[in-house]
Structure 1
Amino acid sequence: MRVSTNMIYDQGVRALQMQSAALLYTGQQIATGRKILTPADDPVASARALDVTQSRSVNQQFATNQGYAEDALKLVEGQLVGAGEIIQYARERALAAGNPALSDSDRKSIATDLRAQFDAMLAIANTRDANGDYLFAGYKSNTVPFAGLSVTPADPAKPVFDSAKYEGDQGTRTMQVSSSRFMPVSFGGETVFGGENDSVFKVLGEFVSALEAGGAVSGAVSDALDGLDASLDRVLTTRAQIGSQLVEVEQLGFIGSDLDLQYATTLSNLQDLDYNEAISRLTQQQTYLQAAQQSFLKTTGLSLFNYLS
C-alpha cells in the first residue's frame, strides 16, 4: 500500500485533534468539577444521578413542608395556650362567684369580667394565620368559624347573653411531611371549643346571664364548673395531640437530614471529579499533545529534497 503525503498529513491532523479534544475535555472537567459533562459520557451513571437528584428534590420538599407544618402547629398551640388560660381564669371567677357573701352587684362585676373573657376566647377561636385562613374553621378556611355576639357591657336590648354559633366544618387540613404521612395542621372549631350544646361560649354565656339575673347562683356555678372543666379537657387533649405531632415532625426532620446526606454522597460519587487524577491526566495529555505536535512538524517537513541534499 502506497502511503501518500496527504495520508501522512491527515493522520497527523487527526492525532492532534484527538489529543486536543482529550485535553479540552479534561480542562472542562476541572473547570466544572464534574466527571460527567454530558449523558453520553456515562449513560448508566447519568441515569442514576438523575434518579437520585429527583429523589433528593422530593426529600427536600418534604423538609420544607415539615417546616410549614411545624409553624402551623406552633401557631395553633400558642392560641390553645391562651384558650386554656382563659378557661382556668374563668373557672377561678366562677368559684369566686359561688361565695354566698357576695352581693348581686359583686356578681355582676364578675359577669362583666367574664364577658371580657368571652370576647378574648372568641378572638382566639376566630384567629387567622399569615395567609388569612381561619385556624379553626376546618375546610371552610375563609369563613368566620364562630359567628356570635358578645355584648360588653350588657346591652339592655339583649338581656340574654349570646353564645357563638359554629359556621365551619370538621374538616382537617393536612400537609404531606413524608412519602406516607399527611399530617393534620388545623383543627375543627367544635373539636377544640365544643359543639352547639356544650361549647365554651355557651357555658360562659349561660353563666354570665345567671350572674346578671341575680338571685341564687349555686346551680349555675356548678354547671359552669362542669362545663369549663369539659372545655379545658378538649383544649388539653388537642394540645397533647399537637405536642405529639411536633415530636414526630422533629423525628422526620432527623430522618430527612440523614437521607439528604446519603443522596448527596451518592451524587458526589457519581458526578464529582477526582481532582488529583484529573490534574495528573491533564499533565500527561499536555505532554502527549506536545509530542504529537513535534512529530507532526517533523513528518510534514520531510520531502525528496531532504534526501538529495
Structure 2
Amino acid sequence: MMRVSTSMIYDQGVSALQRQSAALLYTGQQIATGRKILTPADDPIASARALDVTQSRSVNQQFITNQGYAEDALTLVEGQLVGAGEIIQYARERVLAAGNPALSQSDRQSIATDLRAQFDAMLAIANTRDANGDYLFAGFKSNTSPFAKLTADPTNPAAFDSVRYDGDQGTRTMQVSSSRLMPVSFGGTQVFGSENGGVFAALGEFINALERGSNLGPAVGDALDKLDASLDQVLTVRAQIGSQLVEVEQLGFIGSDLDLQYATTLSNLQDLDFNEAISRLTQQQTFLQAAQQSFLRITGLSLFNYLS
C-alpha cells in the first residue's frame, strides 16, 4: 500500500485552498468588470469572435459618423441652392419688367442697379465656404475662390458681363457605407453654368444692354432663356441632393440596426450573467470556508504531528 506522508496531506490541503481562493478571486473580478471573459485564454473562440465583431462595429460607427458629415454638407449646399433659385426667379421677374417699352431710361437704370445687386448676391453664394473654410463650389480646388468677376470694359470698373471660373470639375466624396462613396460637393459650372452661358453671363449681358439703352427685345428673350436654363440646372442639382439626403437617412437606419445587432452579439459573448455569477460566488465562498475548516481540523489532529 502507498503510504500517505504528513507533507502530502499538507500539500494537498494547501493546493485545495489555493484552487478555491483562485476561483473565488476570478469570480470576484468577473463581477467587478461585468465581463465573463477576463483574458483571451479564458475562451479563445469567444474572444476571437468578440474581436471581429468589435472591429466590424467600429467600422460601422465610422460610416454612421460619415453619414452625419455628408448630411451636414449636403444640407449646406441645398440651402445655398435654394437662395440661388430665388435670385434667378426674382431676376427673371425684373428682366420681364425691363422689357416694358413704356419704361424710361431712368427706370431701366434702376432695374440694372437692382440686377447688379442680384449678380453680387449670386456671386456670394457661388463663393460660399463651409465651416472648415472650404469653398463649396470649387471642386477639388476647395482652397481657391471659384468665381471671379470679369469686367467687360477695363476702363469702366462698373461694367461687367461674366465671371471667370477658377475651380475644377472634381467632386469630393465621403464613404457612407461599405459600398457607397457619396458626392458631397459640386463643381461650380455644374451648378451655375459655364462662363459664357451660365447665370452670370445672363445677368451681366442683360445689365449691359439695359445701361446702353439699346433695343431690349432680343436681350430680354435671350436673358429669359438663359435664366430658365440656369434655374433648371440649379433644380437638377437640388433634386440630386434631395435624393442623396433620403439615401443618407436610409443608410442611417441600416447603420443603427447593425450597431444594435453588434452590441447584442458582443453582450452575449462578453457580458456577465450577474445572477449566475453571484450565486457561484456564494457557493465558492462556502466551499472555501469548508476547505479552510477541514484543513484546520486535519492539521490540528494530534496524530497528524506523528505521521511519517
Inter-partner Cα distance in structure 2 for 1:191 and 1:150: 23
Shift of 1:155: 9.4
Alignment correspondent of 1:90: 91
Aligned length: 305
Matches for 1:1-309 after TM superposition, within 5 Å: 1-149=2-150, 157-158=156-157, 160-304=159-303
Shift of 1:162: 3.8
Inter-partner Cα distance in structure 2 for 1:189 and 1:168: 7
Shift of 1:306: 8.6
Inter-partner Cα distance in structure 2 for 1:158 and 1:231: 26
Do the aligned residues in 2 keep the contact of 1:137 with 1:168 (CA within 8 Å)?
Answer: yes
Q: 2:160 is paired with a residue of what secondary structure?
A: coil
Shift of 1:105: 1.2
Unaligned runs of 5+ in 1: none
Inter-partner Cα distance in structure 2 for 1:255 and 1:134: 31
The amino acid of 1:247's aligned partner reads V
The amino acid of 2:208's aligned partner reads S
The amino acid of 2:14's aligned partner reads V
The 1:224/1:18 distance shift into structure 2, 3 A limit, reads same
Shift of 1:18: 0.3
Do the aligned residues in 2 keep the contact of 1:119 with 1:150 (CA within 8 Å)?
Answer: no
Give the 4+ runs in structure 1 shifted more than 6 A.
none
RMSD, aligned CA: 1.7
Shift of 1:7: 1.0
Shift of 1:123: 0.3
Inter-partner Cα distance in structure 2 for 1:12 and 1:184: 71
Shift of 1:160: 3.8
The 1:155/1:82 distance shift into structure 2, 3 A limit, reads farther
Q: 1:163 is paired with a residue of what secondary structure?
A: strand
The amino acid of 1:184's aligned partner reads P
Do the aligned residues in 1 keep the contact of 2:6 with 2:304 (CA within 8 Å)?
Answer: no
Do the aligned residues in 1 keep the contact of 2:137 with 2:187 (CA within 8 Å)?
Answer: yes
Inter-partner Cα distance in structure 1 for 2:160 and 2:178: 49
The 1:120/1:306 distance shift into structure 2, 3 A limit, reads closer
Shift of 1:196: 1.9
Do the aligned residues in 2 keep the contact of 1:22 with 1:285 (CA within 8 Å)?
Answer: yes
Do the aligned residues in 2 keep the contact of 1:122 with 1:146 (CA within 8 Å)?
Answer: yes
Inter-partner Cα distance in structure 2 for 1:124 and 1:178: 30
The amino acid of 2:254's aligned partner reads I
Inter-partner Cα distance in structure 1 for 2:271 and 2:55: 17
Residue range with higher mean Cα deviation, 230-239 or 2-11: 2-11
The 1:199/1:303 distance shift into structure 2, 3 A limit, reads same
Please list the CA deviations of residues 269-305 of structure 1 after superposition, one character each: whole Å capped at 9, or x if unmatched: 0001111111111111011000000000011112338
Inter-partner Cα distance in structure 2 for 1:261 and 1:157: 65
Do the aligned residues in 1 keep the contact of 2:151 with 2:158 (CA within 8 Å)?
Answer: no
Unaligned runs of 5+ in 2: none
Do the aligned residues in 2 keep the contact of 1:95 with 1:221 (CA within 8 Å)?
Answer: yes
Shift of 1:178: 0.2
Inter-partner Cα distance in structure 1 for 2:29 and 2:304: 44
Do the aligned residues in 1 keep the contact of 2:172 with 2:183 (CA within 8 Å)?
Answer: yes
Inter-partner Cα distance in structure 1 for 2:38 and 2:305: 46
Q: What TM-score, normalized to structure 2? A: 0.96
Do the aligned residues in 2 keep the contact of 1:66 with 1:253 (CA within 8 Å)?
Answer: yes
Do the aligned residues in 2 keep the contact of 1:33 with 1:272 (CA within 8 Å)?
Answer: yes
Shift of 1:156: 6.8
Q: 2:175 is paired with a residue of what secondary structure?
A: strand
The amino acid of 2:31's aligned partner reads I
Please list the CA deviations of residues 45-79 of structure 1 after superposition, one character each: whole Å capped at 9, or x if unmatched: 00000000000000000000000000000000000
Inter-partner Cα distance in structure 2 for 1:204 and 1:89: 12
Please list the CA deviations of residues 155-194 of structure 1 after superposition, one character each: whole Å capped at 9, or x if unmatched: 9724642411111111000000000000000000000000
